[in-house]
Amino acid sequence: MATSPGSAAGDRRLGRLIGKVRAASGADGDPAGNGATDPGRGGAATDPDARRALDALAARRTSKAVPPPPGGLLPTTRRGMLRYRVLPRSVVGISMLILAFAIGAGFSGVVLYSYYQYRQSQADTKVNSLISGYKAQFTKAESDLNSAVAAAKANIDTQLQAAQSLQAGPAQLAALVKKMAPSVFFVRTLDPAGQPSVGTAFVISSTNGQTLLLTSYNTVSAATHSPGPPVSISQGANGPQTAVTVRTWDPQYDLALLVLDKAGLAPVTPAPSSPAPQPGDRLFAVSGLGSAGASLDQGAVIDVSTSGIEVDTPIGTTFEGGPIVNQDGQVVAVGSRNYAPLGFTSQGTYFVPYIEAACAKVLSCPGGTLPGS
């Protein structure tokens, strides 16, 4: 253990004093040199100065002395002395040290657990906020989606109503079929290759013992040559077939005039030239093939020109040569699959010649118009 310079000097002085006292005691009290003093002779042991020096030294060393350990041995190193002074050496001290450690550990646990609870509370708050925000966003998105769906449905309903207004209902179609059936016939013949060729013809005039019917040149083109295949007509597919004659034709306008040696048939009613058809007007293609004596297919006007009308009404082979009528059953044009005023045909739409073209190409009409127009 380190000591101050003043303490070390005092110890040296006390050591020299004790040495003198011992020397005097050896000379006076113990002539034989055995270290014993004779109290009766009044040696150094009875010297007041020596006594005081011995007492002071004993007191000084007693105050600095470290109590010996239970084994009786003091540590000799500085680290050992520090451990000896700090660590308890009794059961009570050890118990108190363990208690202090336990209290510190408990306090540390409380602090850590409190921090854990705090962090968990913060995390729960953030998670709850996120969930609440997600629910709000989900509800808003669902509401927006429902609104968009409702708006789309309303838009579709509006467009469907507009489309349905352009479509004829079953009652109107049945009425048109009933009106047109007496005037349309199913045409049978052969094409230039000898294969069956079919189409439709309709009555434009029935007087003086004969009936004039208009049809497509493409249907009866083989019969325009001599010799040519016979041409017959019937009302419906199962009606009796009657022979007809091809009188005049025009390949450019895809028109042909048939003559039936029979009168008293109902002619069609031509549509007035004014007002002219407009894009978007509803039109119907009529075929002479059908269980009721006729059948219809509906469409609309795509474009209008001086050469004819472009329609999206499907015109199959059985509709070729048949009348194109408006919703009142008046004939506007003649159905054609080959009429090409622009020099080409179009896929999905058809160009059809006006009914008035018959007067200029295959028929002589009084005043240049069909009867009844």
Residue 187's pLDDT band (cuts 50, 70, 90): very high
As a whole number of angstroms, the distance between CA 261 and CA 209 comes to 6
Say yes or no to pLDDT of 213 above 70: yes
Say what the pLDDT of residue 37 is: 46
Q: 1 pLDDT exceeds 70? A: no
> So what's the pLDDT on residue 127?
87
Query: Which residues are within 8 A (CB) of 260 and not within 5 positions of it... i.e. 6 or more apart?
Result: 210, 211, 212, 213, 233, 242, 244
pLDDT tens-digit readout, 323-366: 999 999 999 999 999 999 988 888 889 999 999 999 889 988 87
| 3 state DSSP class of 120 | helix
What pLDDT does residue 208 have?
86
> What is residue 243's predicted lDDT score, i.e. its pLDDT?
96
- What pLDDT, on a 0 to 100 scale, did the predictor assign at position 344? 86
- Band of residue 29 on the pLDDT scale cut at 50, 70, 90: very low
Q: What is the pTM of this model?
A: 0.57
Q: Rg for the chain (alpha carbons), in Å?
A: 66
Confidence at 370, pLDDT banded by 50, 70, 90: confident
**pLDDT, tens only, 93-144:** 788 888 888 998 988 988 998 999 999 999 988 888 888 887 888 888 888 9
The pLDDT of residue 45: 46
pLDDT band for 171, please (50, 70, 90 cuts). Answer: confident
Residue 90 identity (one-letter amino acid): S
pLDDT (0 to 100) of residue 8? 58
In the prediction, which pLDDT does 239 show? 85
In the prediction, which pLDDT does 186 show? Answer: 96
Average confidence (pLDDT) over 176-201 = 95
Residue type, 289: L
128: Cα within 13 Å, side-chain hemisphere: 6
CB atoms within 10 A of CB 53: 18
Task: Give the pLDDT of residue 289.
Answer: 92
Strands (E), 231-354: 231-234, 242-250, 255-260, 269-270, 282-287, 295-305, 308-311, 323-325, 330-334, 350-352
Mean of all residue pLDDT scores within the chain: 82
Q: Is the pLDDT of residue 73 over 60?
A: no
- 184: region left, alpha or beta (phi > 0 left; psi from -120 to 50 alpha): beta
Q: How confident is the model at residue 258 (pLDDT cuts 50, 70, 90)?
A: very high
What is the rounded CA–CA span in Å between residue 167 and residue 297?
Answer: 11
Q: Decide which of 147 and 162 is more confident.
A: 147
SS3 content of the chain, % helix, strand, coil (to 5): 45, 20, 35
Q: Domain ranges in the chain?
A: 9-32+43-58, 174-368
DSSP state of 291: T
What band does 15 get if pLDDT is binned at 50, 70 and 90?
low
174-368: CATH number: 2.40.10.120
pLDDT at 165 over 70: no
Q: Is the pLDDT of residue 47 over 80?
A: no
Residue 35: pLDDT band (50, 70, 90) is: very low
* Nearest-angstrom CA–CA distance, 325 and 20: 158
Return the higher-pLDDT residue of 5 and 364.
364
Q: Reply yes or no on whether the pLDDT at 280 is more than 70.
A: yes
- Give the containing element (helix H, strand E) for 201: strand 196-207
Q: Model confidence at 38, in pLDDT bands (50, 70, 90)?
A: very low
Q: Among 226, 152, 147, 231, which residue's Cα sits nearest to residue 189?
A: 231
At 275 the pLDDT is: 86
Task: Please name the residues in contact with 280: beta carbons below 8 A apart, sequence gap of 6 or more.
Answer: 166, 300, 301
Compute the average pLDDT of residues 298-326: 93
